[in-house]
Structure 1
Amino acid sequence: MILTQENRILDHHQILQKIKRMAFEIFENNFEENKMVLAGIHENGYLLAQLLQQELKQISAIEVKLLKVTLHKTDPLAHDFLIEPALDTLADTTVVLVDDVLNTGKTLAYTLRSFLEKECKKLEIATLINRHHTLYPISSTYTGYSLATTLREHIRVVLAESEWNAYLI
């Protein structure tokens, strides 16, 4: 996989713009809430959740807690599923699941049960990029960038210290 300027679809500045817009949308749809949880799928989803949390703190008074969701993306049933920090309940709490790319919806579908068991008030999904190839009944409530791709194409989001880019490969 060669990542080049030619196959870059979002650069650092554009990713920040998408995150800021998504934060405003989350706030607009939840402005009456006192608290909310952003649950980021490890690794890039969690980084995006951290960035969304920072933006939400700048524009609202909503208390925003952060959770890290760790699961095996290709074989989730055969491996441990972990939510950190562990919570007993999410009653009266809006939860926004955050991931970098929505492709088939499998990863997000496997996370839903854990949050529904905690009796959350509302469950929404935020993704930086939506590819529109869902095989599961999952749709993103908040999308930074919507991109129709072929099944053979892939999206790679890089959120490293020295580079923030999204590539179509």
Structure 2
Amino acid sequence: MVYTTDNLILDRQAILQKITRIAYEIYERNFEEERLVLAGVYENGYILAQLLEQELKKISPLTVELMEVRLHKTQPLQHELNLTPSPESLTDTVVVLVDDVLNTGKTLAYTVRAFLDKDCKKLEIATLVDRHHPLYPISATYTGYSLATTIKEHIKVELDEENFGAYLM
């Protein structure tokens, strides 16, 4: 994949600023809580959840726990959804689902179902980029960058050292 400054929409600094802002928003909405679970959708959502956890620990007294969510994104009903670590209890706990890009809402809609029987106090969604192509009734509680795109365009988020950025493809 070719990444250039021509298709770069968020560079490293911009992404880190968005993560810091989202962390403050999460804390502002949940400042009375003692415990918060960040459930990141593998792979980039989990990396973003890790970065959010670092920021939340800097700015708040919240106990923040990480959870990795793995599902088959194109055939979610034919494959098992896994939560790692498996939650002992999420009763009366705020859970924030984290993913890199919210496109149609399909991935997050299927992810939400894994938490519906866990008796969460509140279930919120954080996403780095919201593309505004909802086909499922999912919207982000926290959005880093909102971008209207055509259905043929794609957003690719890279969070490795070499290509840390968000790109319009």
Q: Under a length normalisation based on structure 2, what TM-score does the superposition of the two structures give?
A: 0.98
One-letter amino acid of the counterpart of residue 125, structure 1? I
Instruction: Report Cα offsets for 1:119-169 as digits up to 9, x if no partner.
Output: 100000000000000100000000000000000100000001233110001
Report matched runs for 1:91-102 at 5 Å: 91-102=91-102
Gaps of 5+ in 2: none
Corresponding residue of 2:12: 12
**Larger helix proportion, structure 1 or 2?**
1
One-letter amino acid of the counterpart of residue 138, structure 1? I
One-letter amino acid of the counterpart of residue 144, structure 1? G
Q: Secondary structure at the match of 2:98?
A: strand
Gaps of 5+ in 1: none
One-letter amino acid of the counterpart of residue 93, structure 2? T
Corresponding residue of 2:149: 149
What do you get for the CA RMSD once the two structures are aligned?
0.8
Q: Could you tell me whether the CA contact under 8 Å between 1:88 and 1:118 is conserved in 2? A: no
One-letter amino acid of the counterpart of residue 79, structure 2? H
Q: Could you tell me whether the CA contact under 8 Å between 2:11 and 2:166 is conserved in 1? A: yes
Q: Could you tell me whether the CA contact under 8 Å between 2:81 and 2:114 is conserved in 1? A: no
1:3 matched to 2:3: yes
Q: Under a length normalisation based on structure 1, what TM-score does the superposition of the two structures give?
A: 0.98
Q: Post-superposition, which runs of at least 4 consecutive aligned residues in structure 1 deviate over 6 A?
A: none
Q: Secondary structure at the match of 2:134?
A: coil
Offset, 1:10: 0.3
Q: Could you tell me whether the CA contact under 8 Å between 2:129 and 2:145 is conserved in 1? A: yes
**Cα distance in 2 for residues equivalent to 1:17 and 1:63:** 22
Offset, 1:40: 0.0
One-letter amino acid of the counterpart of residue 94, structure 1? V
One-letter amino acid of the counterpart of residue 48, structure 1? L
- Provide the aligned length of Structure 1 versus Structure 2: 169
Q: Could you tell me whether the CA contact under 8 Å between 2:155 and 2:166 is conserved in 1? A: yes
Q: Could you tell me whether the CA contact under 8 Å between 2:3 and 2:163 is conserved in 1? A: no
Offset, 1:92: 1.1
**Cα distance in 2 for residues equivalent to 1:88 and 1:21:** 30
Q: Secondary structure at the match of 1:108?
A: helix
**Cα distance in 1 for residues equivalent to 2:102 and 2:57:** 25
Offset, 1:88: 3.1
Instruction: Report Cα offsets for 1:66-97 as digits up to 9, x if no partner.
Output: 00000011111111210000013200100000
Identical-pair percentage: 65
Offset, 1:116: 1.4
